[in-house]
Chain A
Amino acid sequence: SQQGEEDPQALSIQEGENATMNCSYKTSINNLQWYRQNSGRGLVHLILIRSNEREKHSGRLRVTLDTSKKSSSLLITASRAADTASYFCAIGAGSYQLTFGKGTKLSVIP
Chain B
Amino acid sequence: DAGITQSPRHKVTETGTPVTLRCHQTENHRYMYWYRQDPGHGLRLIHYSYGVKDTDKGEVSDGYSVSRSKTEDFLLTLESATSSQTSVYFCAISETSGLIFMGYTFGSGTRLTVV
Contact = CB atoms under 8 A, between A and B. Distances in A.
A76 B95 CA distance: 24
Interface of B, helix, strand, loop or mixed by DSSP: strand
A1 B59 contact: yes
Nearest to A94: B101
A101 B44 CA distance: 9
A100 B43 contact: yes
Contact of B103 (A30, A48, A95, A99): A48
Interface stretch (B14-22, B74-82, B104-112): B104-112
A96 B92 CA distance: 11
B93 to A, nearest CB: 10
A92 B107 CA distance: 20
B94 A43 contact: no
A69 interface: no
B96 A103 contact: no
Interface residues of B, number: 26
Contacts of A20: none
Interface residues of A, number: 24
Given A41-B109, A96-B31, A97-B48, A48 B102 contact: yes
B98 interface: no
A92 B106 contact: no
Given A42-B107, A42-B108, A31 B45 contact: no
Interface of A: 1, 3, 30-31, 33, 35, 41-45, 48, 88, 90, 92, 95-103
**What 7 A-B pairs are tightest by C-beta distance, nearest first?**
A42-B106, A102-B42, A100-B43, A45-B103, A96-B94, A43-B106, A96-B31
